[in-house]
Chains A and B, each alone.
Chain A
Amino acid sequence: MSGQTVSLVMAGSGGAGVVTAGSLLLEAAARAGWYAYMTRSSGPQIRGGEAAVMVRLGTEPLASHDDCFHLLVGVDWQNVGRFAAEIPLGPDSLIIGDPGEGEVPEVFARSGAQQIALAMKALAKTIPDGRPNMVAFGAIAGLIGLTEDIVVGVLRDTLKRKGEGAIAASLAAFRAGVEAAADFPAVPRLPAMKADTSERWSITGNEATGMGALRGGVRFVAAYPITPATEVLEWLAPALPKVGGVLVQAEDELASINQIIGGSYGGVPSLTATSGPGLALMTESLGLAVAAEVPIVVVDVMRVGPSTGIATKSEQADLNIAVYGLHGDAPHLVLAPTSVADCLFTTQWAVHLAESLQTAAIVLTDQAMGQARAVMPRSAAVSFIGQREKPAALAEGVHYKRYANTASGVSPMAIPGMAGFTYTADGLEHNETGTPSSQASDHQAQLDKRLRKLTGYNYGDHWADITGDADADTAILTWGSSAGPAREALARLRAAGHRVKLVAVRLISPVQPEKFAAALAGVERVLVVEQSHSGQFHRYLRAQYDLPRQVRALHNPGPLAVRPGAIVEQITQWS
């Protein structure tokens, strides 16, 4: 991360409005010309309960939280202590608490952070319809250098339906917060930015995933709701029909994946989104899509596992099931976006690959990335749109071979409605025409072709995001949302004079041994960074690739995010 940043947390119980205030802050920051990254943490309650928004604002695009937060504002302290481990503070941090809501919880106080009182509730009460969260918003704005003229615009736009009264009340509470914080201890202030005319988006990873699906050509979605994947579907449900598509809420995950197999067999690019427990239920039919060569995309927004784990917290521990969960030899695609913005690109690419190669693609995102909101530059349109190879006209009396053993391994695929090409798609092993076969020769030929079409394909340079020094002696290998903190660690390490590069793998499977070897040429040691207890990615790399002799692994289970400082520390202390 180059440029300046400030990191803050707003916490409170359900109804305190911290998520609303966080959204307003993001919107205002974007108008101030800053970039933003916001994650949320909530308790297990369905509604209400404690909540916290973790916000980082900066002068350059952001993909990660910092090691430590500069500011924690507790609108109240009810059960917020449960998040303490997710909110690292230090002696340079500032905690603002409402004295009417009791002492700052010991778990925060012991960080040594400075504490200051702000009677948010009492101040809000002095203003008709004033709310404590707006007082908190004002205090934060005053401290970080967000000017009132921008906030006025945001309040006008977001509250216009509620009327002038609501706008005035919010603004008054906001001003009270600004005023109260005027003589508070300083936290980093961000500079006013020049008017920026480039287009910006405020988007979550889950929304970006939905957009990537549509850009890739997906027009049929069937899914069963599951945290934290539901927002992908909630965005798609109204969006799909506008572009000529349809979304169906299926009765369960087994129905979801089989419905999209049906839709795709019918010629319509199809996708479902789920989380770990749903992916587990879908694995049999993933194999069906592989065997019957029906293109489908399954997005897995990973959460803490195993079993139902922790529904609202992030982990990268579904890698094993995504790669190895299918029975038999079932080559398929596994991809992982490396940032909120990249959810769009990778999902679009996954659709393209699934359609081109007529197979199943699993896209592994996670809660941290999926539910994070970023203010980022508008995502440029990329050109790939799934293209399914269609059969050419057949000579009289020639039978269509749906599973023709071609050189590329891809067999031209007929779509119902095409006369002269009727065939039966089959999950049973079959011969080239699709007739079920138990012969070893047919099995061998079809296995070979299904593998060949994946290993022989040219994936170009998209297989990984590679940044850093070309002559690096040290490499950080990572994937998914762990790439965010790794990118920031890379910048810090290079600024400190280390020769280091980052390889964030986007195409998990099939493996790219030659490209991987080229990327690591000259590298003497690698640090593998991921968020799983057993080091699934580390083990996968060891099994599939030649690694340099010196390998270290940094792998923590969820829900605590990998911090850039932890990565920097691993490398600087490695001598």
Chain B
Amino acid sequence: MDACVKQREYTAKDYKSEVKPIWCPGCGDYSVLAAITRALASMQLAPENVAVVSGIGCSSRIPAYTSVYGFHGVHGRALPVATGLKIARPDLTVLVTGGDGDGFSIGGNHFLHACRRNVDLTYIVMDNQVYGMTKGQASPTTDPDWEGSKLTPDGAGIESFHPLVVALAAGANFVARCSSSDPNNVADIITQAIRHPGFSLVQVLSPCVTFRSEQLEWKHLVRTAVVDVTDDAARAARRLMTDDGFNVGKVLYKGDRPAYQPEPKGMAAVAELESDFAL
């Protein structure tokens, strides 16, 4: 039985569950889900050795829609759950999925420290610049003049957050941006991110057609970035600070900092520690 499983070739379908997504028709997250399953199939990872961890929000529903091990936790805390899982179980491939609100607002501190800590995780953020699940409020990546929310009728009035630049400043080792309008490219970048040792950040522009219908235009605005991957964080940051956010389809920065994976030093019996107390 076991041998048969190993010999079988996995297809993208093998990584999908039977649970029907709650997403609105036209949501960009459908194609990100498809890209994740394609990436896993391209790597032929056994589903039982993969875990997808998330927090709360539309895109955080992804674990239930996959057939790998999943963890759907509380708002903003996906990265710590994934960090604990990977450190305790380094043999697993751990992906983290979520949105811009979950990752950069409530989970902001964890985002900074995940970049810094560099545990071997692949963090896929579906960025639609809005809180969709709570029916359309400004998120950290929303432009300051967006007046579509009843909560901030005059616009958020504060500068939007630049996740990729912040990630670079915090020490992230792999930074990429892509668009849900090109799921093959997203699958390819996720595959590269999984292969990269240490923390990888993949920002996917994934429109919310319900609360930000103007984002339907994104598929016409995005363009393949005409840059090569760099290992110079300052250069990558300069590019990102000056582009309009629609340069996609590329890994923009790749460093070679070693991944953080504390190792047990031995397998002594607990009784041996009693000498600490013995008189």
Q: Give chain B residues whose Cβ lies under 8 Å from the Cβ of A287.
A: 74
Q: Is A265 at the interface (CB under 8 A from chain B)?
A: yes
Q: Is the CB of B80 within 8 A of A255?
A: yes
Instruction: With a 10 A CB-CB cut-off, give which of B47, B48, B76, B80 has the most chain A CB atoms.
Output: B80
Q: How far is the CB of B17 from chain A (nearest CB, A)?
A: 8
Q: Is A421 at the interface (CB under 8 A from chain B)?
A: yes
Contact (A424, B72) CB under 8 Å given A248-B262, A262-B88:
yes
Q: Is A495 at the interface (CB under 8 A from chain B)?
A: no
User: CB-nearest residue of chain B relative to A375?
Assistant: B279
Q: How far is the CB of B245 from chain A (nearest CB, A)?
A: 28
Q: Is B87 at the interface (CB under 8 A from chain A)?
A: yes
State A220–B86 Cα separation when bound (angstroms).
Answer: 11
Q: Is A239 at the interface (CB under 8 A from chain B)?
A: yes
Q: Is the CB of A260 within 8 A of B84?
A: yes
Q: Is the CB of A251 within 8 A of B109?
A: yes
Q: Is B70 at the interface (CB under 8 A from chain A)?
A: yes
Q: Is A185 at the interface (CB under 8 A from chain B)?
A: no
Q: Is A560 at the interface (CB under 8 A from chain B)?
A: no
Of B31-39, B171-179, B196-204, B269-277, the stretch lying at the interface with chain A is B269-277
Instruction: With a 10 A CB-CB cut-off, give which of A202, A427, A435 has the most chain B CB atoms.
Output: A427
Q: Give chain A residues whose Cβ lies under 8 Å from the Cβ of B88.
A: 219-220, 246, 262-264, 266-268, 270
Q: Give chain B residues whose Cβ lies under 8 Å from the Cβ of A285.
A: 73-74, 77
User: CB-nearest residue of chain A relative to B88?
Assistant: A263
Q: Is B266 at the interface (CB under 8 A from chain A)?
A: yes
| Mask of A425-468 contacts with B, CB within 8 angstroms, 1/0 | 11110000011100000000000000000000000000000000
State A428–B86 Cα separation when bound (angstroms).
Answer: 23
Q: Is the CB of A420 within 8 A of B48?
A: yes
Contact (A424, B264) CB under 8 Å given A199-B278, A416-B92:
no
Q: How far is the CB of B33 from chain A (nearest CB, A)?
A: 13
Q: Is the CB of A265 within 8 A of B85?
A: yes
Q: How far is the CB of A210 from chain B (nearest CB, A)?
A: 9
Instruction: With a 10 A CB-CB cut-off, give which of B5, B91, B110, B266 has the most chain A CB atoms.
Output: B110
Contact (A200, B278) CB under 8 Å given A267-B89, A270-B84:
yes
Q: Is A422 at the interface (CB under 8 A from chain B)?
A: yes
Of B61-69, B184-192, B206-214, the stretch lying at the interface with chain A is B61-69
Q: Is B11 at the interface (CB under 8 A from chain A)?
A: no
Contact (A425, B70) CB under 8 Å given A242-B273, A244-B267, A255-B110:
yes
In residues 148-184 of chain B, which contact A (Cβ within 8 Å)?
none
Contact (A258, B276) CB under 8 Å given A244-B267, A418-B48:
no
Instruction: With a 10 A CB-CB cut-off, give which of B17, B110, B277 has the most chain A CB atoms.
Output: B277
| Mask of A339-359 contacts with B, CB within 8 angstroms, 1/0 | 000000000000000000000
In residues 1-44 of chain A, which contact B (Cβ within 8 Å)?
27, 30-31
Q: Is the CB of B277 within 8 A of A419?
A: no
Q: How far is the CB of B204 from chain A (nearest CB, A)?
A: 21
Q: How far is the CB of B15 from chain A (nearest CB, A)?
A: 10
Q: How far is the CB of A269 from chain B (nearest CB, A)?
A: 10
Interchain Cβ contacts under 8 Å between A and B, 26 examples: A199-B278, A200-B279, A201-B274, A211-B273, A241-B265, A243-B264, A243-B266, A243-B273, A244-B266, A246-B264, A250-B80, A251-B109, A254-B77, A255-B109, A258-B81, A259-B83, A260-B84, A262-B86, A263-B88, A265-B85, A266-B51, A284-B74, A285-B74, A292-B71, A378-B278, A416-B51
Enumerate the 10 nearest inter-chain pairs by beta-carbon distance, A residue then B residue, closest first.
Answer: A262-B84, A424-B70, A259-B84, A258-B80, A263-B88, A262-B85, A266-B89, A201-B277, A262-B81, A241-B265
Chain A positions within 8 Å of B, measured between CB atoms, are 27, 30-31, 199-203, 207, 211, 214-215, 219-220, 222, 235, 239-248, 250-252, 254-256, 258-268, 270, 284-285, 287-288, 292, 375, 378, 381, 416-428, 434-436
Extra contacts, 15 of them, besides A262-B88, A422-B48 (Cβ < 8 A), are: A202-B277, A222-B84, A239-B276, A242-B268, A243-B269, A248-B84, A250-B113, A251-B109, A255-B77, A262-B71, A266-B51, A288-B73, A419-B47, A422-B70, A425-B71
